[in-house]
């Protein structure tokens, strides 16, 4: 049954948590759109995935979605030249959502012959960064299909660090021999590092300990040597 389900987190959800959506795990889901009148807040009736079955994950509204991930089990892969009716004319599914890249931020589990009903992640489960987990999950080789006995991942999995944002609007102020670097706070940053080098194309070194941090400002007594600087956010 084609539908749009909305998930509302009851509280902060730890990275690596598996969010289940089925008849036994539906408390935080609501159905906001159904194509056939079935408004149960979970995935139901997903049968043999050879007739246009995909899961498209997005944030925002249905009218203006920001796609985050997508997966198709249609054996022919993502469709092309899809009209407004939503299928490729042969009932073989949707196109790759805009903004996503197949096998990176989207995944096609096409077998090239017939569809497989059940798929589960069976790749590496060792602790990794968020970027590494995204690479693992987006790789079809890390998934196993089984028409008879689906393997349900247990989880939770360990995400070793939250990726910080990039410091923006870095400015420098000089007063005599005193240098002050300032920047806008970066998302998820717990601290910062100041990197410097005499050559803008050379190897930069961490000189953070040579100065004093005050929030998003770093103060340093510099020599007459011309230096180039940049600021790195750190998340721990």
pLDDT single digits (tens) 67-86: 989 998 877 778 776 655 55
Which has more confidence, 181 or 118?
A: 181
What are the pLDDT digits (tens) for 10-62?
888 888 888 888 888 898 999 988 877 888 898 765 543 334 478 889 988 88
68, 60 in Cβ contact below 8 A? no
Nearest of 105, 102, 95 to residue 68 by alpha carbon: 105
pLDDT score of 83: 57
Q: Can you give the pTM of this predicted structure?
A: 0.61
pLDDT score of 113: 65
- What percent of the chain shows pLDDT beyond 70? 87
Helices and strands (DSSP H and E) totals, the chain: 1, 14
pLDDT score of 51: 47
Mean pLDDT of the chain: 83
Task: Give strand pairing partners of 174.
Answer: 179
pLDDT score of 82: 61
pLDDT score of 75: 74
What confidence tier does 88 reach under pLDDT thresholds 50, 70, 90? very low
Distance CA 76, CA 204 (A): 49
Exposure of 221 in the CB half-sphere (CA atoms within 13 A) = 0
27, 34 in Cβ contact below 8 A? no
What are the pLDDT digits (tens) for 191-220?
999 999 999 999 999 999 899 999 899 999
Nearest of 101, 5, 86, 96 to residue 51 by alpha carbon: 86
- What percent of the chain shows pLDDT beyond 90? 31
Exposure of 89 in the CB half-sphere (CA atoms within 13 A) = 4
What are the pLDDT digits (tens) for 160-178?
877 789 999 999 999 988 9
pLDDT score of 228: 94
Distance CA 24, CA 11 (A): 19
What are the pLDDT digits (tens) for 99-115?
888 888 898 887 666 66
């Amino acid at each position: 049954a084609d539908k749009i389900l909305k998930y509302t987190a009851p509280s902060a959800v730890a990275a690596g948590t598996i969010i289940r959506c089925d008849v036994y795990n539906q408390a935080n889901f609501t159905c906001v759109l159904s194509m056939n009148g079935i408004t149960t807040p979970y995935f139901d009736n997903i049968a043999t995935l050879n007739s246009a079955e995909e899961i498209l994950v997005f944030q925002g509204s249905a009218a203006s979605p920001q796609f985050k991930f997508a997966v198709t089990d249609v054996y022919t892969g993502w469709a092309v030249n899809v009209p407004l009716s939503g299928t490729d004319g042969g009932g073989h599914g949707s196109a790759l959502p805009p903004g996503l890249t197949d096998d990176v931020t989207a995944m096609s589990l096409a077998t090239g012959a017939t569809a497989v009903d059940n798929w589960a992640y069976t790749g590496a489960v060792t602790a990794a960064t968020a970027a590494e987990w995204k690479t693992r999950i987006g790789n079809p080789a890390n998934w196993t299909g089984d028409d008879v006995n689906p393997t349900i991942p247990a989880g939770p999995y360990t995400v070793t660090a939250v990726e910080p944002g990039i410091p923006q609007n870095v400015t420098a102020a000089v007063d005599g021999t005193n240098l002050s670097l300032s920047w806008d706070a970066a998302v998820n940053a717990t601290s910062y590092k100041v990197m410097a080098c005499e050559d803008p194309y050379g190897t930069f070194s961490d000189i953070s300990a040579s100065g004093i941090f005050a929030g998003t400002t770093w103060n340093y007594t510099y020599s007459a040597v011309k230096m180039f600087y940049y600021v790195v956010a750190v998340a721990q």
